Chain A
Amino acid sequence: MANQVIHTAINGQEHTHEVEPRMLLVHYIRDVVGLTGTHVGCETSLCGACTIMVDGQAVKSCTMLAVQADGAEIMTIEGLAQNGELHPIQEGFWECHGLQCGFCTPGMIIAAHQLLQRNPNPSEDEIRHGLDGNLCRCTGYQHIVDAVQYAAEKMQGSRERKEV
């Protein structure tokens, strides 16, 4: 099959590339666009290391072809901090020691981002269920749960401040 031209906006920046129709989205992001913060842990949609946001939905980018993302707005881990300021979820992971080797972390943070969008005040149980598609071999998850709770509180606080 002939190569196809795709247009994407990744972390607010426009990209146009010609890609092989069989190329996985995760490889497009890592190897063509050059954003290597998104990781590949299994290539079979089971580990979550490759999780990114596509049009507002958390997606395992090893399960999508690059051509399917034509016209999409994408956010990767590199796009989460704004103006040099960490996102509260990133801050939570740092404060609560939510990572060790860091390989699962970008996917875990993006999954947590989606979780908190849907449920700004999750219980511990809801956090654990919300992160069920993301594997971490290092932490035993407890500090990850703490990190998400930290972020939820912080985000709640800033929402309340805005409302005042």
Chain B
Amino acid sequence: MTAVAGPSRMIGAPIKRREDPRLIQGLSHYVDDIKLVDTLHCTFLRSDYAHAEIKSIDTAAAKDLPGVVTVITGKDIEGKVGDVPCGADLPGLKVPDHPALSIGRVRFVGEPIAAVVATDSYIARDALDLIEVDYEELPTVVDPEKAIEAGSPLIYEEFGDNIGFTMPLEAGDADAAFAEADHVVSGRFVNQRLIPNAMEPRGVLAQYLPGDGSLTVWSSTQVPHGLKTNLGLIVDIPEHLVRVIAPEVGGAFGSKLNVYPEEIVVSYLAIQLCKPVKWIEKRTENFTTTIHGRDQINYVEIAVKNDGTITALRAKTIADIGASYQLLTPLIPTLTNLMIVGGYKIQNVKVELIGALTNKMATDAYRGAGRPEATYIIERIVSMAAKQLGMDPKDIRFKNFPQPEEFPLEIATGITFDSGNYQASLNKALEIVNYDEQRAQQAELRQQGKYMGIGLCTYVEICAFGPSAGVPGGGWESATVRVERTGKVTVLSGVSPHGQGQETSFAQIIGDEFGVDIDDIIIVHGDTGRQPQGIGTFGSRATAVGGTAMVVAAGQVKEKMAKIAAHLMEANPDDLVFENGQIFVGGSPDQAVEFATVAGEAHTAANLPPDTDPGLEATHFFEPSNFTFPFGAHVAVVEVDIDTGEIDIQRYVAVDDIGNIINPLLVNGQVHGGIAQGLGQALYEGAVYDENGQLLTGTFMDYAIPKATHLPRFESDHTVTPSPVNPLGVKGVGEAGTIASTPCMVNAVVDALSPLGITQIDMPMTPNRVWQAIQDAKEGGNG
């Protein structure tokens, strides 16, 4: 018999994706690619006004248009379907009604008012023009700081003000620390509103079968399971008759972690009409009515000793939450509170957080969700402090990092960092970028009147959401692992990837576990009909939580297979090794049985060991004991042209510690994409509403998501500090790049312009803004 090769460790290998062949050939199926016979098409009439009373809606002419099947308004479904749900539960949270189609009043531009169903999507769009709405305009408020002032127009009169919630956080004695401080460093930061803009707009297709009473919904979502449970309750179909399928999903970044009005209305219409109904979002709708992200104003100050030790942080945050709550709206800024001290040992904290209602689309989870804001606050203010104290920005960071042996480390805001070595990642980044040389070159260039800047960001973030106590609806994940009769392996997962590549990385993990070829494994996800309970993909949780659920389930199946194999070979199950499609006795590979043979025996069931049931299947629900806390150091080197305000990114180095790495190729992809979105915020993107609440940046023409020419080549590397909270030792990588790169870039540009006395430039740092800051500085300097 041939010698058995060494273990084929697929974990850690840059295996190319198994998802790709269908995607690169145009053979995959996103929602709009699924065609059911007799499908009707739905479109939504949306508010043109940011705040108005609806006096009347006349749908008669639209209904008369040939091809139109029905037109419904909020009144037609009032009491028949439930509200758009909000899963957040904060003390004192004021929760407004949120009907799927507005009734009586509209509060932001794009709010859905009526739905048209027609035989063809062009006719459905024609019909929208025939609906007459009589509005009476109301005063509008879009500035969150004005919204919380007394006398502001009220979004909800019954609340008496526009404060949706407040969330104070206090630890230690910040006021005392400030009284003793050698230096106080303060700033006002604006974390502008962003629009996620996944390239695939949202879409819903719903089919109701009156015979068995079942509802099947295909939705471009990150959370098919949450959607299933919620939809069942909202449209009144028992949960076990609802199936939600997230087919191919074209990106999400948090924007599809929700239950949206369109999912509710389309499901309701399919039930009423007993025909499939489809709605595909237009890009303009995606801009106005898919959740937005960020939108905070932060007043921040830190107390610092002469040696650079930061003793306290005080902050006041006004978070613009928009006009209504989506699934997690109020929770997102509370994550900013939790992570506001970053990776520094700041013991005294006093934070005030106000959620301000305005006449805008709701904010919610967008890649990073609350942590980019926290990181921006702390990384900017720490760099400002270094400047004020005349320290190198790296030194103030080293000064305030915890030591590696201090982990697990409970921080002032009450959470416990699982593991870390912040010094190692910063040292590695400094080495890669050649920091000392860069500083020397900067000094030289300054002599020549050139403005080179070096920006640092040392971040820590919170991932792997998470213990169920911290996630509305549960933070566990489920997986079923089944070895079929022929030895093929089927994994059913509750996570719902939409570009991350877990069909590959999960198969790598299972391949190592069972010692079988990756092509003998499939990973099924995004279908509540196949894996009925799950949570989904968000908050960089899929591998840490969903992967662990899968590994535990696989371990149970493996144990049973070992028992059967041992029975067949008359060996001890504890001695068996799974490798290369075989199960053999460790040390004597001649004593072997095929993996597939054991799978067959388990199902033929004629020769099973005593007390062994037929079949090879296990399901596990994994509840993590803690979040994970990835960290790292990014360094950007830029040169600013002070005549034009243009920024040239010369180097971008990212050292991310995300724990163990399953597939470095996919990790690189996540890092690059994350950095791109973070640089988008720093340099290009920003949602702008005018004072009447009209979105001025509602197309790709006015809202600049980065193009290929806008971005540099990224240099990505890692340190590896495994997480102790899951057996894979992984932390999560989906959001790190977005969290780190924004302050890193602002720090670099401000560093470049510091000889002019510039200490802050608000984002996005467009050439125009940078140029203006330079002019202001020059004038200020002259005057």
Q: Which of B29-37, B47-55, B563-571 lies at the binding interface?
A: B29-37
> Which residue of chain A lies nearest to B670 when distances are taken between CB atoms in the complex?
A100
> Which residue of chain A lies nearest to B22 when distances are taken between CB atoms in the complex?
A102
- Taking the closest CB of chain B, its distance from the CB of A94, in whole angstroms, is 5
- Taking the closest CB of chain A, its distance from the CB of B291, in whole angstroms, is 15
B residues within 8 A CB of A128?
708-709
> Which residue of chain A lies nearest to B666 when distances are taken between CB atoms in the complex?
A97
* A37-B25 Cα distance, complex, nearest whole Å: 7
> Which residue of chain B lies nearest to A146 when distances are taken between CB atoms in the complex?
B713
Supposing A97-B666, A106-B26 touch, asked if A41 and B283 sit within 8 A by C-beta, the answer is yes
* Most B-side CB within 10 Å, residue of A46, A103, A106, A140: A140
B700 & A109 in contact (Cβ 8 Å cutoff): no
A140 & B676 in contact (Cβ 8 Å cutoff): yes
- Could you mark each residue 1-27 of chain B with 1 if its beta carbon is under 8 Å from any beta carbon of chain A, else 0? 000000000000000110111011111
B residues within 8 A CB of A132?
707-709
Q: Which of A1-9, A53-61, A75-83, A154-162 lies at the binding interface?
A: A75-83
A residues within 8 A CB of B708?
127-129, 131-132, 134, 136, 141, 144-145
B residues within 8 A CB of A38?
26
Within A9-48, which residues are at the interface with B (CB < 8 Å)? 20, 22-23, 30, 34-44, 46-47
Q: Which of A95, A124, A134, A138 contacts B251 (CB 8 A)?
A: A138
B interface bracket (residues with beta carbon within 8 Å of A):
35 or more
B24 & A139 in contact (Cβ 8 Å cutoff): no
B residues within 8 A CB of A77?
24-26
- Could you mark each residue 164-204 of chain B with 1 if its beta carbon is under 8 Å from any beta carbon of chain A, else 0? 00000000000000000000000000000000011111000
* A142-B711 Cα distance, complex, nearest whole Å: 9
B668 within 8 A of A: yes
B665 within 8 A of A: yes
A interface bracket (residues with beta carbon within 8 Å of B):
35 or more
B498 within 8 A of A: yes
Supposing A132-B707, A138-B251 touch, asked if A101 and B199 sit within 8 A by C-beta, the answer is yes
A64 within 8 A of B: no
* A9-B253 Cα distance, complex, nearest whole Å: 38
A100 & B251 in contact (Cβ 8 Å cutoff): yes
> Which residue of chain A lies nearest to B23 when distances are taken between CB atoms in the complex?
A102
* A97-B707 Cα distance, complex, nearest whole Å: 18
Supposing A47-B700, A100-B501 touch, asked if A138 and B199 sit within 8 A by C-beta, the answer is yes
B380 within 8 A of A: no
How many residue-residue contacts, CB under 8 A, span A and B?
168
A43 & B199 in contact (Cβ 8 Å cutoff): no
Supposing A135-B707, A142-B713 touch, asked if A97 and B250 sit within 8 A by C-beta, the answer is no
Q: Which of B20, B26, B282, B713 contacts A78 (CB 8 A)?
A: B26
* Most A-side CB within 10 Å, residue of B669, B714, B737: B669
A36 & B700 in contact (Cβ 8 Å cutoff): no
B199 & A136 in contact (Cβ 8 Å cutoff): yes
- Taking the closest CB of chain B, its distance from the CB of A129, in whole angstroms, is 6
> Which residue of chain B lies nearest to A90 when distances are taken between CB atoms in the complex?
B24
A residues within 8 A CB of B700?
42, 44, 46-47, 135
Q: Which of A94, A134, A138 contacts B20 (CB 8 A)?
A: A94
> Which residue of chain A lies nearest to B29 when distances are taken between CB atoms in the complex?
A36
- Taking the closest CB of chain B, its distance from the CB of A114, in whole angstroms, is 15
Supposing A37-B26, A38-B26 touch, asked if A20 and B201 sit within 8 A by C-beta, the answer is no
B250 & A102 in contact (Cβ 8 Å cutoff): yes
A100 & B499 in contact (Cβ 8 Å cutoff): yes
Q: Which of B253, B498, B668 contacts A97 (CB 8 A)?
A: B668
A104 within 8 A of B: yes
> Which residue of chain B lies nearest to A35 when distances are taken between CB atoms in the complex?
B26
* A77-B20 Cα distance, complex, nearest whole Å: 14
* A40-B283 Cα distance, complex, nearest whole Å: 9
A residues within 8 A CB of B200?
39, 41, 101, 103
- Taking the closest CB of chain A, its distance from the CB of B192, in whole angstroms, is 18
A101 & B669 in contact (Cβ 8 Å cutoff): no
A46 & B699 in contact (Cβ 8 Å cutoff): yes
A residues within 8 A CB of B673?
100, 137-140
* A136-B199 Cα distance, complex, nearest whole Å: 7
A residues within 8 A CB of B17?
94, 97
* A104-B28 Cα distance, complex, nearest whole Å: 13
B606 within 8 A of A: no
Supposing A94-B24, A102-B250 touch, asked if A140 and B199 sit within 8 A by C-beta, the answer is no
- Could you mark each residue 549-591 of chain B with 1 if its beta carbon is under 8 Å from any beta carbon of chain A, else 0? 0000000000000000000000000000000000000000000
B residues within 8 A CB of A139?
669, 672-673, 676
Supposing A46-B699, A94-B17, A135-B199 touch, asked if A103 and B26 sit within 8 A by C-beta, the answer is no
B705 within 8 A of A: yes
B499 & A138 in contact (Cβ 8 Å cutoff): yes
> Which residue of chain A lies nearest to B27 when distances are taken between CB atoms in the complex?
A37
A103 & B251 in contact (Cβ 8 Å cutoff): yes
B122 within 8 A of A: yes
B residues within 8 A CB of A135?
199, 700, 705, 707
* A43-B283 Cα distance, complex, nearest whole Å: 7
B residues within 8 A CB of A100?
251, 499-501, 669, 673
* A128-B501 Cα distance, complex, nearest whole Å: 25
B675 within 8 A of A: yes
B656 within 8 A of A: no
Q: Which of A20, A22, A103 contacts B199 (CB 8 A)?
A: A103
> Which residue of chain A lies nearest to B33 when distances are taken between CB atoms in the complex?
A36
- Taking the closest CB of chain A, its distance from the CB of B70, in whole angstroms, is 22
Supposing A128-B709, A140-B675, A141-B676 touch, asked if A93 and B24 sit within 8 A by C-beta, the answer is yes
A residues within 8 A CB of B669?
97, 100, 138-139, 143
Within B296-334, which residues are at the interface with A (CB < 8 Å)? none
- Taking the closest CB of chain B, its distance from the CB of A11, in whole angstroms, is 10
Supposing A46-B701, A81-B25, A86-B24 touch, asked if A140 and B711 sit within 8 A by C-beta, the answer is yes
- Taking the closest CB of chain A, its distance from the CB of B218, in whole angstroms, is 14
B248 within 8 A of A: yes
B687 within 8 A of A: no
* Most B-side CB within 10 Å, residue of A44, A141, A143: A141
B201 & A102 in contact (Cβ 8 Å cutoff): no
A22 & B201 in contact (Cβ 8 Å cutoff): no
B677 within 8 A of A: yes
B residues within 8 A CB of A36?
26, 29-30, 32-33
* A141-B677 Cα distance, complex, nearest whole Å: 11
> Which residue of chain A lies nearest to B680 when distances are taken between CB atoms in the complex?
A137
A116 within 8 A of B: no
A residues within 8 A CB of B40?
none
* Most A-side CB within 10 Å, residue of B26, B248, B283, B706: B26
- Taking the closest CB of chain A, its distance from the CB of B706, in whole angstroms, is 8
Within A111-138, which residues are at the interface with B (CB < 8 Å)? 124, 127-129, 131-132, 134-138
* Most B-side CB within 10 Å, residue of A101, A129, A134: A101
B16 & A97 in contact (Cβ 8 Å cutoff): yes
B residues within 8 A CB of A102?
19-20, 23-24, 28, 248, 250, 499
A49 within 8 A of B: yes
A40 & B499 in contact (Cβ 8 Å cutoff): no
- Taking the closest CB of chain B, its distance from the CB of A122, in whole angstroms, is 12
A residues within 8 A CB of B707?
131-132, 135, 141
CB<8 Å pairs between A and B, sample of 15: A30-B32, A42-B283, A77-B25, A80-B25, A93-B20, A95-B16, A100-B500, A101-B199, A101-B200, A101-B249, A106-B26, A128-B709, A132-B707, A137-B673, A141-B711
* The 4 A-B residue pairs with the shortest CB-CB distance in the complex, in nearest-first order: A37-B26, A103-B250, A102-B23, A101-B499
Apart from A30-B33, A135-B700: 20 A-B pairs, beta carbons within 8 A: A34-B35, A36-B33, A38-B26, A41-B199, A41-B201, A44-B700, A47-B199, A80-B25, A97-B668, A100-B673, A101-B499, A102-B19, A102-B499, A105-B23, A137-B199, A140-B676, A140-B714, A141-B676, A144-B708, A145-B713
